[in-house]
Structure 1
Amino acid sequence: MPRLPRPPGSSTLRPGAVALGRPDPGPDLNSPEGLIRAARDWLGAGDDQRARLALDRALALRPRAAEALLLRGLVDQRRGDLAAAAEWFRRAIRARKDFADAHLNLGSCLIGLGQTEEALRQFGRAVALAPGMALAHLNLAQALLDQGDLGRARSAIDRARALAPDALPILLARARILAAQEDYEAAGAAWEDCVARAPGDVLVLNDAANFLLEDNRVEDSLALYRRAVALAPTSQEVRKNLIRALMTTGALDEAEAEAVGWLGTQGEDPRFRRLLGDVLVRAGRFPEARSAYVAAWDALPEDDNIPLGLTATGKMKSGEALGDRILERWTAQGAAGVVSADIAYAAGKVLDDRQDYDGAFAAFAQANRLKAADHPFDADAHDRFVEAVSTVFTPALFERFAGLGSPSETPVLVVGLPRSGTTLVEQIIASHPQAAGAGELTHVSRFEHSLPWRVGEAGRRGYPACVAGLDGAILDRFTAHYLHELTRIGPKARRVVDKLPNNFLRLGLFALAFPKARIIHCRRDLVDTCLSLYFQSFAGGHEYRHDLVSLGRYARAYLAMMAHWRRVLPLPMLEVDYADVVADQEKASRTMLEFLGLAWDEVVLRFHKREATVATASRWQVRQPIYATSVARWRRYEQHLSPLLLSLEGKKPSKG
């Protein structure tokens, strides 16, 4: 969810640690000192033009007046000319080398100019010169956060907080740093503190709600989004975030009402029309969704995410105007030498629908090259992680923790590689009257990521080594939170399916938390699965899929991980082959229901008619009856897949 930018001057702490007062009607405008004093007052009153004139006169009289140079930089900084402002601040530093305010403001300009390394040096210099200046520590912390240096960022923000414990900007930055460190319990408390201190601040409410939604605290997040909307009913971003949150939680009727209500009261807005399309796709109302997307695209033809959304509404066979329009845009961008990943993915989908397999592969390959540039994947690090998990989760570990965790049999984890049939399996089970589908919950992954902070000293070794520090109280807090969400989703369900595919990496941790739960492992032809991953545009993550060799290595690591769980996992696990479900849906469905202790009900054979939200990339497919066209699909693309096939065998492609 987008954070809302804080308007300039809205913070009690901001770049420019100069105290600006009110205008004094009687300064001496014939001396540099008087002109500087007057300029300071005029800046404080917002009269930048008069301040600039006074400062120019002061500098004409005294060119190396450090304070005048600083204030002159503030004038340019406030009007958005960061390059000019930075030069004024550099001149101020040359005039007075120990001028902490100038170092601080120069650092702020450099952040805006994208020169983070140099900005860090300037903030560090400001801190060294003025260790009691809270703003200097705050800016240093924020720059370190931007750099991903989270440990130093936390130290810097803690020093800022010690100097100004009630300053809201410091508390907000601290909450964001704690969340970035995956110290989710501390971050949650920090966000609650921010909301308590600023209950009427729309920006605080929005950003706190973003965190709470990511932390799976659904009711709390929606309450804050609604408060923010009530305070700022005409704010587009706040309303969009509320709608996206409602979509995430499956409240599609309310999400649709919010989008339609905005369009009815604020006038035609293509971005909300596009958002309405997203809501309708999740609800399975594909013709209406297509109409919404088309209206949005007509108004915003430069937004390539809209045609990408259109491809989720169904196939676009030869001769269909929308498909032609997508291909024309892709071709035009190619001729101009600037292609977006979104339009390349959309073109690939259209060409695949039209059975132009060479053209489709070229488009998908282009999309992945564009994505790979910004989303690198470290296959060696991932292999080491899988090996470490295998080393930690042993029969001896499970025996040591026997008796802990929740006795609940409600959770069912459906795992596997993405695009392996996990959504199909979830929808079949969730169609049963005594079951429910939760979609892709992040509770288990967030528990894994936050575990080093939860276990105290043992957490210094990171995950998975820190599992040794687990105790019953830590597990009980997690299981209570998780079961609360499952109960919200399926109040009367005996089984609730959580189908986040990459939970295959966390089955050991899940087994410690829920020793009586069930696991269903979805398998599909590995090459078909990898090809589908390569062709799919995900909202985030899955960096491994942008290169065929890395994709093959990730798939081999997955096989190794699952082989380990088969040897050591104390939970019952059912293996479900996608091809078997396609070949005989009833037989596969009976097997799954029997495994879960649910009586047979033929309603599960009509899963595609079920009215429920589907939030994954398979949302169009699962609204259709089961079809076999995706089995051995990779054969259509075989001539392009040598790097993947060799990687799956553990071989390196030839450099030629």
Structure 2
Amino acid sequence: MSQPQKTDFKAIQQLISSGRFTDAINRCEALLKDIQRADSLSQQECLYLMAVAFRLNKDYSSAIAQLQNILSIYAQHSRALQELGYNFRALNDDRLALEHFYKATQANPALLSSWQALLPYYQAKEQLQATELCKAQIKKLSDLPRPILAATDLFYDGKIDAAENLCLQYLQQNKHSLPALMLLAEIASKLRAISEAEFILETCVELAPNNAEAMYSLFKVYSKLGKFEAALSLSNKLLNINAENTFYKVAKATSLVSLGEIEDAIAIYQSVIDNEQADANLYLLLGHALKTKGDKQASIKAYQQAYMLSPTFGDAYWSLANTKTYEFSNDEIQKMLDAAKAQKTSSNDKIHLEFALGKAFEDKRLYKASFEHYEKGNAIKRSEIKYSSTNHNLFIDNLIKTFMPSLVSSLVSVGHQDPSPIFIVGLPRAGSTLLEQILASHSQVDGTMELHEILSLAANLSKKRQNLKAYPHNMPDIPKDRFKLFGEKFIADTQIYRQGAPYFIDKMPNNFMHIGLIKSILPQAKIIDARRSPMACSFSGFKQLFGDGQEFSYALDDIAQYYQAYLRLMNHWHEVYPNQILTVHHEDVVSDLESQVKAILNYCQLPYEEACLSFYENKRAVKTPSAEQVRQPIYTSGLEQWKHYEEYLTPLKQIFK
């Protein structure tokens, strides 16, 4: 936003404050002509001020028209939603007023005025639970220091930098302010500085050991970092504070699922359901646990119960699609189409619904309709994330420039010499879960999950400290004895996921970027690169809605560039670590399973076992999207699925020709 526009907006606000509403409207109309179409933020601000002036001038229809213009640009504009609530309240339309005040609080939970507007509606309708929730939120927001309330408001409106600056200014004078520290942690999480959020929240818990809100926030950060044992410990402490709190019960159950204690988790979910406290999301979590266990039919029933409780709950439909074997009925497809078009459906639900519809029409061999829905879901998701192929390629360049032969040779023997880890890396949807299931069927190998420890280490090393370099540039400057400590910590931190076998698997695909770091801290580790042909792998990623991360996968050109960067980096790793990385092509595994299994076991220095060929009989818990597929014998139908969509995949074909 240019400086003249800021001055103009301030002048318009002054006109409104002095009651000169017509002058404010005229000034807005004049300014709109000067604002470029590409400057959507300035356009939204101008339309918003005009709408406020129209409402205060009691021209409600004009105000509503301007607000709807804003929402056509950005559907989650919290203040436009709140303004609509004011307008409909003035028109005595309680239903629409209630609906828009509620939507405003969903878009921005820090809108105190909307919560205060909702309270009398809930009280009049004797909605006791909603009334108590509303009162609690009003009290929470009212108790916040004014600068932190303002910063919270900015944060939820997406003005992250402004929120952080305001928060830091307040902390300079109030160093131990718990609300300020917790908001700062939330900002760090939003910026994906998860380790920084962890440090801040651990400080909060030290300052206030019995503060349940701080503990619950820390629990969520531990879960993001994959520190599930620490998360479980916190959930138990929370239950000691309030044994009947449903959120704390669910927190414990999700930790147990992550630690592989599926039956105990299911028992907790079921106990909440039996006490009639279950909502749609709880049935979704129960479905995930049952799917991880391998109870396909029970998981399907749980997902169906979730969408029956909440008809626009996109994640319930997507979870059914994500079993990879479920086929939707015509009635379910119509329900999804209706929900995707409904104005009240959130963008997040629409994303899930569009991906589920893509799968539904794919199963019906209606590939044009299928691609249109996959494309819609990806487009919405891509609009909500910040990803840059340029920045990713720069990071890959920096890895290659850093891990040159001279550095690699200097670090070859400094790490922890434990030979037990087997890393399976590569791109998502490249067949890594299948390789994990094959290896985990060996008597000497424990299957675990996609572990976060290496990514967390890389993130910690990436922090800029004073004038020091960040990862990967700082690798030559790290004291040599630290690498052994890093390796020992990795082995200690991952012990919780093991069942006692001599070897174990870490199947985090994104670790392909950190092979140099892995070989520096664990030089004896085995590394298997799961690779799949570019068209098949790329399109499979495009039609997969990932739970978190993989931001590159929501546009075909981003996917193609990411695949090329992956090949470029893997070629480098093979050069600097010759004969230390095994590349396994998914197509070879499908066409000749036995010889590939023998090659994998030979590389891992493991004796041949027939159980690896019948991997689908292994009943271990599997959490990835391929869970259902790896419980079946090898099949070839997935190899050429992308060809049904070939005419729509020009951005991929142009690069992979």
TM-score normalised by structure 1 residue count: 0.73
Long gaps (5+) in structure 2: 1-80, 87-107, 114-143
- How far is 1:279 from its partner? 0.9
Q: Which residue number in structure 2 is paired with residue 170 of structure 1? A: 180
Q: Which residue of 1 aligns with 2:372?
A: 362
1:381-400 correspondence to structure 2 within 5 Å: 381-400=391-410
Mapping of 1:170-569 within 5 angstroms? 170-176=180-186, 187-267=197-277, 269-317=279-327, 322-333=328-339, 340-453=350-463, 457-459=467-469, 462-569=470-577
The CA deviation at 1:420 is 0.5
Match of 2:61 in 1: none
**Secondary structure of residue in 2 paired with 1:409:** coil
1:412 match: secondary structure: strand
Matches within 5 A, 1:42-191: 112=111, 135=145, 138=148, 160-176=170-186, 187-191=197-201
- C-alpha displacement of 1:536: 0.8
Q: Deviations over 1:370-420 (max 9, x none)?
A: 222212431122222211211111101112333322111111111111100
SS in 2 for 1:522: strand
The aligned counterpart of 1:652 is none
* Deviation digits for residues 91-138 of structure 1 (CA, Å, limit 9, x no counterpart): xxxxxxxxxxxxxxxxxx997399xxxxxxxxxxxxxxxxxxx95665
From 559, 576, 597, the equivalent of 1:589 is 597
Partner AA of 2:450 in structure 1: E
Give the distance between the partners of 1:309 and 1:397, measured in 2 at CA.
45
Question: Residues 402, 182 of structure 1: CA spacing in aligned structure 2 closer, same or farther, 3 A cutoff?
Answer: farther
Q: Would you say 1:572 and 2:585 are equivalent positions?
A: no
Q: 1:177 to 1:369 in 2, by over 3 A?
A: closer
Kindly provide the amino acid, as one letter, of the partner of residue 173 in structure 1.
Answer: L
Partner amino acid, structure 1, of 2:367:
Y
| CA distance 1:276–1:110, shift in 2 (3 Å) | closer
CA distance in 2, matches of 1:491, 1:289: 26
- How far has the Cα of 1:330 moved from its partner? 3.6
Deviations 1:6-52 (A, max 9, x none): xxxxxxxxxxxxxxxxxxxxxxxxxxxxxxxxxxxxxxxxxxxxxxx
* Shift in CA distance, 386/435, structure 1 to aligned 2, threshold 3 Å: same
- In angstroms, what is the RMSD of aligned CA positions? 3.2
Moved more, 229-238 or 437-446: 229-238
CA contact 1:326–1:347 (8 Å) conserved in 2: no
Distance 1:496 1:147, change over 3 A: farther
Larger Rg: 1
2: CA distance between counterparts of 1:272 and 1:180?
24
Contact 1:357 1:637 in 2 (8 A): yes
Aligned-partner SS, 1:613: coil
* Counterpart residue number, 2:119: none
Q: Per the alignment, in what secondary structure is the counterpart of residue 528 of structure 2?
A: strand
Local SS of the residue matching 2:275 = helix
The one-letter amino acid paired with 1:548 is L
Report Cα offsets for 1:556-579 as digits up to 9, x if no partner.
111111111111136711111111
Identical amino acids, percent of aligned pairs: 25
Q: CA deviation at 1:268?
A: 5.2
Corresponding residue SS for 2:338? helix
CA distance in 2, matches of 1:290, 1:542: 26
SS of 2:468 mapped into structure 1: helix
- Deviation of 1:224 after TM superposition, in Å, equals 0.7
Distance 1:487 1:295, change over 3 A: same
136-145 vs 543-552, which deviates more? 136-145
Gaps of 5+ in 1: 1-80, 87-108, 115-133, 650-656
Contact persistence 2:424–2:529 (CA under 8 A) = yes
The TM-score normalised by the length of structure 2 is 0.73
Structure 2 CA distance for aligned equivalents of residues 484 and 281 of structure 1:
29
3-state SS in 2 of match to 1:496: strand
Aligned length: 523
Aligned partners of 1:183 and 1:358: how far apart in 2?
A: 40
* Equivalent residue number for residue 27 of structure 1: none
Aligned to 2:607: 599
Q: Distance in 2 between matches of 1:302 and 1:145?
A: 27
Q: Which residue of 2 aligns with 1:609?
A: 617
Contact kept, 8 Å, 2:451 with 2:506, in 1: the verdict is yes
Please, which moves more after superposition, 134-143 or 473-482? 134-143
